[in-house]
Chain A
Amino acid sequence: MKALQKVAAMAISAVCVVSMAACGGTGSSSKATSLTYPSIKLGDTGKDITASIKLFSNRTDMTQASYSGKNWKAYIADFNKMYPNIKVTIETSTNYDSDALTRIQSKDWGDIMLIPAVDSTELSNYFIPYGTYSAMNKVVNFAAVQQYDNTVYGVSGGGDAGGVVYNKAIFKEAGITKLPKTPSQFIADLKLIKEKTSATPLYTNYAAGWTMGAWDAYIGGNATGNADYMTSILPHTKDPFSNPHDGTHAYNVYKILYDAVADKLTEDDYSTTDWEGSKSQMNQGKIATMVLGSWAVQQIQAAGDHADDIGYMPFPISIKGKQYAAPGGGYAYGINKNSSSDNQEAAMIFVKWLTEKSKFAYNEGGLPVAKSEKKLPALFSEFNDVTFLEGKPVSKDESDLFNDLNTDSELAINSGGASRVQAIVEAAATKSKAFNEIMNEWNDKWNAALKTENVDIKYTTVQK
C-alpha cells in the first residue's frame, strides 16, 4: 500500500513539475520596461542590451529563402548590423489569427506578436504600452489602430488602402481608357472585358474564404467618405445595409459583387477557385480584376513574368463625385507584457527599426507607417485624385462596442465573416435570393444586436 502511495505521489509530483515548467518564464512579469517608443533613438538606445527575442508573425512566405521580396532572414541580418547583440527569431503560422488568440493566453508565446482580435479593453492585460496616443501620433501613422484610453499598444506593420487589383493589359485590350469611378461604370467595364477578351472579368476567390471577407474592408471610408464610419457611426446605425439610393454605403459595395455574379462576370465554377493559382492566372492575363487590399499587388506581380501589367485602382465608389481611400493599419505589433524588461526593450527597438529603417512597409506594398517616410509605393500611382482619410481614436467608452455588435450579430464584419459574403455569391448564382433580401437579413441581425447592447440609435441608411 505504501509503495502504491509512493508511486502515486511521484506521478503527481512529476505532473506538477511538468505543468510548472510549462508556466516557467513568467516569473519576471512584475518588472516592465519604462521605455517608450518615441524616446528610442535607433543605434543609440539599448546598445548594451543582450537579448534573444521571438516574433510571431503571419508571414509564412517570408520565412522561405525563395521568397521573391526581402525575406525575414535578410531583415534580421540588417538589424543585427545595428544591434549585433539582439538575436531575433521568427515564428509564423498560416492560420495566424486563430493560433495567436489561442497562444496569447499562455503568456509564454514570445516577445512580439501581431495583435489578433483582442478587445481594446483587454490590450493592457497582454501588451505593454508604446506611449500616449498624442506622442505616438507624431511619429507613426495608424496610431489609433490598437489603442485604449489614449494609450497605444500596437504599431502597425504597414498601411493598406482599399482598392481593386487589376490587369492593365486586359483593360487596354478591352478598350477601357478611364478607370471606373462608380459601381455602374465598374460593372459596365467588366461586361466590356467579357465581351472583348477571354479573361475572367472578376475573380471572386470564393473558395479561399478570407478573400471574400476582404469585401468588408470597403464599407467604411471608401463607401462613405467618413474616416470614422466604422468606429463611431456604424455602431449607432439602424439598418446599415439598406440602399441609400446615392450609390454609396455598404449596400452598394456588396451590390457590385451580387451584380457581377448574377451577370456571369465572374469565374465559371466559384466553388473550386484556387487562391495560389489565381495569382499567376492574373499575372498571365487570364483574370482582369480581384477585389483585394494593396498588399496583394506585390504577390501577384511576383507570380509570373508580367509584373508590369498589374496595377491597383481606387475602389469604384464615389461620394458626391469624389473617391476616398481609408488606409487601414492592418496588423500591429504588440509586445508581450510577460517578457523580461530586457526583452521588452529589445523588442521595442526592433519594432521601431522595422518601422523606420527597414523599409518593410514600402517593400511589401503598404502605406508607410513612420511619419518621417513620405514616399508612397509605386502601386498607388492611380490614387492621385483620391483623398486619403485618417481615422481618430475611438473613445474609451465605445472602444469595444463595434466588436460586441459584431459578435452578437454574428456578421463578423472585417473579422472573418467570409461565409456571409460567400452567401451573396451563392444567392446571385442560383438566383435563390434577391439582393435586398440578403441585406434585410443582415439588417435584422444587426438591429437585434443593437438592441442587445442597448445602443442609442442615431443614424440610418434608409431614406425617408
Chain B
Amino acid sequence: MQDNPWFEKGEEMTAATKGVVDLPDTIPVNRQPRNWRKAGIIVAFCAIPVTILVVFTYFPFASMVGYSFFRMKYIGPREWVGLQNYIDVFSRPGTLSSLKLSLYYMVGAILQVVVALYLSTVLAFKVRGGNVFKAIYFFPYLINGIAVGFIFKFFFTRGFVFDTVLQWCGFQLNQLPYWLRDQAINNWSLVGASIWRYLGQTVILFIGSIMSIDQSLYEAAEIDGANKFQQFLHIILPGIKTILVLNIILSITGSLSAFEGPYVITSGANGTATLFVLMDRLAHVNQKVGLASAMAIVLLLIILVFAILQQVFFKFVFRDAGDGVAEARKKAKRMQRQRNRVAVKRTSVFRNGSRIGKERSVK
C-alpha cells in the first residue's frame, strides 16, 4: 500500500482541506483512501456491459477491419489483397455516387431538427393537451424500423393511404405522382418516412433540455420587454446548445448511414440504394465480404470527419453564446493584467523598494 501513487495525493488533499476546516492533529488521516469492496462491486457491474460491448462491438469491428484486406466470401479460402478493396471502393462506379443520396437525407435531417425545435418550443410551455401531443410525436419512434417500412410501403402504394388522403383534399388521382416509382421524387418519399419516424425522438430530447432552463429567466426577459421570439433566440437557443448540436450530429450521421427505409420500402431498387444498402447487397448477395467491409470502414471515416467538422463549425457558431460567466471571468483577468502592467509602468524604480515588490503589492 505504501507505494501507491494515489496515497500521496490523498494525503496532500487532506492537508489542503486541513487549512480550511482547521482539523486538529489528533484526528488521524484516512490511511486507506480506496474502498476495495466498493471498487470490486463497480468492476463487477461494469464487467457485464463492457464484456458485451467488447464481444459484440469491438471484436466484430476488429475482425471486419481484418476482412477488409482480404478477397473473401463468408466461407471458403481467403486471399490477402492488401489495400485493393479500398482502391476498389473509390474506383468502382456507383459506390461513391450512392453517397449523393445522403444529401436527400441531410436536407431531411435539417428539416427534421427545425420542425422539432419549433414543436418542442411550443410544447415546452403550458399547452392544452401537451402530453398527448408529446406522446403522438414520440410514438413512431417506438415502432420497429422494419414495421415502419411496411407501413410506408402501403402508405405510398398507388391509390392507397396517401393518395386517398390527398384525394380528400381535392386532388385527382391522375394528378398525383407515383411516390415510389417516379425516380425524381421517390427519395423524397423515403426521406419523409424517415422524418416521420425520428421526429419524435428529436422533439423529446429538445423538450427535456428546454424544461431544464430556469423559468425565472423568462420572467426576467418578459419584464425587460422581450417577445417570445426574442426569448427563444436569446434564452432557449443558447440554453439547449449542447442538445441542439447533438441532435444535428445524430441526424447528419444518421443520414449518411440511412438503411432501414430504402431497404424495406424499396429494397434499394429504382435509384434508392444508399451506401448502406449497397454494402448489404455486396456482402450478402454477391458475397464480396472484403469489399463490403472496406466500404463500411470508409463510411465510418466519412462519418467521423463529418462529426468533427460539425463540432468545429458549432464551436464557431456558438462562440458568443453561454451564460457569460466564463467570458466575464476571462475579461476580468485580462483587465487585471492590464492594470498590473500600467501600475508597474507608473511606479518609479527607486521609490518604495523594488519593482517586483511593487507589482506584488498591486496584486
Contact = CB atoms under 8 A, between A and B. Distances in A.
Nearest to B284: A98
B75 A101 contact: yes
Interface stretch (B267-275, B294-302, B345-353): B267-275
B191 to A, nearest CB: 16
B75 A105 contact: yes
A271 B75 contact: no
A33 to B, nearest CB: 23
Contacts of B157: 269, 272, 274
> Which secondary structure dominates chain B's binding surface?
loop
A4 B43 contact: yes
Contacts of A418: 267, 269, 285
Interface in A419-464: 419, 422-423, 426, 429-430
Contacts, number: 104
Contacts of A417: 285
A109 interface: no
Nearest to A273: B157
A34 interface: no
Interface in B55-96: 55, 73-76
B43 A271 contact: no
B145 to A, nearest CB: 15
Contact of B268 (A268, A415, A419): A419
A410 B288 CA distance: 9
Given A102-B74, A272-B156, A407-B287, A11 B43 contact: yes
Contacts of A14: 47
Contacts of A19: 55
Contacts of A15: 51, 55
A119 B73 contact: yes
Contacts of A7: 40, 43-44, 47
Given A4-B36, A4-B39, A269-B157, A118 B75 contact: yes
Interface string A98-122: 1001101100000000000111011
Contacts of A11: 43-44, 47, 51
A412 interface: yes
A422 B75 contact: no
Contact of B76 (A122, A270, A412): A122
Interface string A243-265: 00000000000000000000000
Nearest to B291: A410
B286 A101 contact: no
Interface in A322-364: none
A171 interface: no
A391 interface: no
B178 interface: yes
A156 B159 CA distance: 43
Contacts of B74: 101-102, 105
Interface string A114-157: 00011101100110000000000000000000000000000000
> Which secondary structure dominates chain A's binding surface?
helix
B285 A422 contact: no
B183 A430 contact: yes
A19 B160 CA distance: 50
Contacts of A121: 76
Contact of B39 (A3, A122, A429): A3
Contacts of B281: 419
A84 interface: no
Interface string A371-395: 0000000000000000000000000
A61 B285 CA distance: 24
B269 A426 contact: yes
A271 B40 contact: no
A272 B51 contact: no
Nearest to A119: B76
A100 B40 CA distance: 42
A122 B158 CA distance: 46
A268 B43 contact: no
Interface in B130-186: 153-154, 156-158, 160, 178, 180-181, 183, 186
Contacts of B243: none
B307 interface: no
Contacts of A118: 75
Contacts of A407: 73, 286-288
B282 interface: yes
A209 B269 contact: yes
A19 B75 CA distance: 21
B282 A410 contact: yes
A8 B153 CA distance: 50
A38 interface: no
A77 B284 CA distance: 36
B181 A269 contact: yes
A270 B284 contact: no
A430 B43 CA distance: 61
Contacts of B282: 410
A415 B281 CA distance: 12
Given A11-B44, A121-B76, A122-B76, A207 B39 contact: no
B153 A272 contact: yes
A206 interface: yes
A416 interface: yes
Given A105-B75, A118-B75, A419-B273, A207 B181 contact: no
A8 B158 contact: no
A104 B73 CA distance: 13
Nearest to B181: A271
A38 B155 CA distance: 54
B75 A119 contact: yes
B88 to A, nearest CB: 11
Closest 5 CB pairs of A and B: A271-B180, A272-B157, A269-B158, A11-B47, A271-B181
Given A14-B47, A416-B284, 11 more contacts: A3-B39, A4-B36, A7-B40, A8-B43, A15-B51, A104-B75, A118-B75, A119-B75, A269-B178, A271-B186, A407-B287
Interface of A: 3-4, 6-8, 11, 14-15, 19, 98, 101-102, 104-105, 117-119, 121-122, 125-126, 206-209, 268-272, 274, 406-407, 410, 412, 415-419, 422-423, 426, 429-430
6 contacts: A15-B51, A101-B74, A101-B75, A119-B76, A271-B181, A272-B158
